Amino acid sequence: MSPTIRSLSRAHIPTILEACGDWQELSHFGAPYWRPRSEAELERKVASMAGPSPAGEYNFVIVEGERLVGECSLHSVDLRNRVAQIGVCVWNPNDRHNGYGRFGVEQMVAFGFGSLGLLRLEAWILDDNAPSLGLFRKLGFGYEGLLRQRFLVGGQAHDMHVLGLVKSSL
């Protein structure tokens, strides 16, 4: 395995829409998957990084060879306080548990703390997403709390775990 990341581009949109076709299965990974993905949503993500000023979010695809396997991002970027939220998703269940999620998180940590000069990253993880909770804990994110009934998915309230990583702890 030798994955890479690439900035999200318009050329990736058809592949992402196909990969996220089973949005119900993906729904426990977070907000982008609580409904069918749309071309307009992905176009907005591409446009948000078009510069010239610093972006409020940075979106990447995880690529194995030429095959897109997932996405990773820094979003809700607050440059004044040097904080962002971090996210990762491997779309196909057959590609999970192969190190792609770990790779995506490691790349976002390096990009956030290095290129962007952030001091803190936060992972907000839905209560039923034990694999992501385990991944972020293994990568040094500390458990900071539970936001009870924070998000509605299909009319159901779900708790959200908050984990954090500060640059000074590395």
Q: Give the C-alpha distances (Å, rounded to integers) separating 57 from 7, 72, 94, 100, 135.
A: 11, 11, 28, 21, 22
Domain holding 59, by residue range, is 4-169
Give the model's pLDDT for residue 31: 66
> In whole angstroms, what is the distance from residue 63 CA to residue 45 CA?
18
Whether the CB-CB separation of 89 and 33 falls below 8 Å is answered with yes
CATH number at residue 64: 3.40.630.30
Domain count, the chain: 1
Q: What is the pLDDT of residue 23?
A: 77
Please give the chain's pLDDT, 170 residues, in tens.
699 999 999 999 999 999 988 877 777 676 666 677 899 999 999 999 987 778 899 999 999 999 999 999 999 999 999 999 999 999 999 999 999 999 999 999 999 999 999 999 999 999 888 999 999 999 999 999 999 998 887 788 889 999 999 999 88
Q: pTM for this structure? A: 0.93
